[in-house]
Amino acid sequence: MGDKSAQKKKLIVERARRVFMEKGYKEVTMKDIVEECDISRGGLYLYFQNTREVFEEVLRCGQEDADDGFEKSIPEHAAPSEILALFLKEQKKEILSKKPSLNIAVYEYFFENKMMPKENLLKKQFDAAVYIIEKLIEQGTENGEFYCEDARGAARNIMYVLEGLKIASFTRGIPESAVDREIMYVMQGLIAEE
């Protein structure tokens, strides 16, 4: 039972994710999910009481497959600067992607549910990324690739720029060149400096 039930729940979450990617968070109704899932009206309510619960499960289950693509693409003995470049490239791809993604739904959800200091998914992801970038910059500084006196500050600056670019992309659309330019700018700040 726990098994089949869990199976079903997973299926619902999977299908629901598509709906949220397509329509954002607020727009989605239980009916939308029901229809996407080929499930009965009442059936959905066995597992979730409202779209909020469904979406939170989508978030919870979604973290696994998050950066799969990225991590796999890192060569064995890559230099810190190379890894950082790869990371930024990955981010660029996401920023520019025309494919529907959960991003907008996530923002809509957190606009409505701001109040979550520590369990906030966005914050966790942001902090984790800052940490990784910081370490890369430190390593790069040690082996002479980078010159940077405030690795953490630089890492944070990069992440805020990326967040700004994301929003710019979702709310206006920006050309690839603009993303490249910004990435270039922050990379410059790490390398040259003298």
Per-position x/- string for 33-62, each x denoting binding to DNA as judged by CB under 7 A, each - no binding: ------xxxxx-xxx-xxx-----------
Nearest residue to 21 via CA among 170, 180, 185, 139: 170
* 41 binding its own copies? (CB under 8 A): no
List, in order, residues 6 or more apart from 70 with CB less than 8 Å away.
86, 87, 90
CB 92 within 8 A of CB 85: no
Q: Which does 31 bind (CB under 5 to 8 A by kind): its own copies, DNA, none?
A: DNA
Q: Which two tokens stand for residue 110?
A: 């957190």
CB of 78 to its own copies, least distance (A): 26
Number of other residues whose CB lies within 10 A of the CB of residue 75? 9
Interface positions, 70-129, toward its own copies (CB under 8 A): 104, 107-108, 110-112, 114-117, 120, 122-123, 126
C-beta closer to its own copies: residue 72 or 99: 99
Q: Are 25 and 52 in contact (CB under 8 A)?
A: no
Site residues for its own copies per CB under 8 A: 24, 26-27, 104, 107-108, 110-112, 114-117, 120, 122-123, 126, 150, 153-154, 156-157, 159-168, 170-173, 181-182, 185-186, 189, 193
